Amino acid sequence: MIGNRSTTVSRSFRHPSAPVTYALIALCCLVFVAGPAAGLNPAYGSGDALLAAQRAYFHRWGVVPAELFAGSPRAALTPATALFVHGSWVHLLGNMLFLFVFGVMTEERMGRVRFTVFYVACGYLALLGYAAANSASGQSLVGASGAVSAVLGAFLYLFPGARVTSLLPFLFFLPLRFPAWVVLPFWASLQWLAAGRAPDGPGVAYLAHLVGFGLGFVCAWAGVRRTTKVRAAPAPAPEGENQP
């Protein structure tokens, strides 16, 4: 959760007004539960039939770089539709958790309309950037991680003094609190290193994270006044972008 020393922001946090963030979370959850990846809809069958349905589903609604740059009008929409499709329960719940933690205050700072445009546009461009760097790939790319990373970038600019609780594996997952200006750039550095070593094929689209994070920071810097004297309670870093 995120708190602020100023009376106005503290009051708004105790009574958050972030309908867009909540609607995005609800929509992603509904899409996932209704789709084949959740394994809850008997209409998709089981076993090999379910796996085939999942592959077809991700191919239809996800970003396939090789098709995107072939000039298909339908494929041009997939960087937008892919934002609401997730490959697994872990993928979905991770992204939605971090969208909730970072998105509520970011939306309140930006405003509903601006935040909506910001989220969809940055998510679209993040996936487009990944596709451009892997234009020959036939793998489907889905997930909201590019858009969530943009929210992180905006959060870093808007609330650099926020206290973020992190779990560090090399310290036996001991929870430690650091300012956002320490934690989030460190996370972005890890994405950069991982992107340079990422193999071809299904996995985590680290480049989409980096593009989204950079776009989010720049958009917030260009269009939103920054709040000062912010402190925050626990907030983790986002899940990776899965390619089924």
Q: What is the pLDDT of residues 38-65, one digit of tens each?
A: 989 888 888 889 999 999 999 999 999 9
Q: Is 174 helix (H, G, I), strand (E, B) or coil?
A: strand
- The share of the chain scoring above pLDDT 90, in percent, equals 43
Question: Does the pLDDT value for residue 90 go beyond 50?
Answer: yes
Give the model's pLDDT for residue 235: 45
In the chain, domain spans: 2-232
Sequence letter at residue 3: G
Spatial separation of the C-alpha atoms in residues 175 and 120, rounded to whole Å? 32
Phi-psi region of 177 (alpha: psi -120 to 50; beta: other; left: phi over 0): beta
Count Cβ atoms below 10 Å from residue 183 Cβ, excluding itself.
Answer: 22
Phi-psi region of 173 (alpha: psi -120 to 50; beta: other; left: phi over 0): left
Return the number of other C-beta atoms located less than 10 Å from residue 223's C-beta.
11
230 SS3 class: strand
The SS3 of residue 63 is strand
Q: How far apart are CA 209 and CA 87, in angstroms?
A: 16
Active site residues: 145, 209
| 21-30 pLDDT tens trace | 999 999 999 9
Residues with Cβ within 8 Å of residue 99, at least 6 apart in sequence = 21, 24, 25, 144, 147, 148, 151
Length of the chain: 244
End-to-end CA, the chain: 31
pLDDT at 86: 95
Residue 244 is predicted with a pLDDT of 41
For 92-153, the DSSP string reads: HHHHHHHHHHHHHHHHHHH-HHHHHHHHHHHHHHHHHHHHHHTTT----B--SHHHHHHHHH
pLDDT of res. 72: 80
| Best CA proximity match to 142, nearest among 71, 193, 91, 188 | 91
More confident site: 182 or 36: 36
Tokens of 162: 């926020």
Question: Token pair of 180, please?
Answer: 């956002």
pLDDT in tens, 103-151: 998 999 999 999 999 999 999 999 999 999 888 888 889 999 999 999 9
CATH code, residues 2-232: 1.20.1540.10
From the number of C-beta atoms within 10 Å of its C-beta (0-12, 13-18, 19+), residue 12 rates as middle
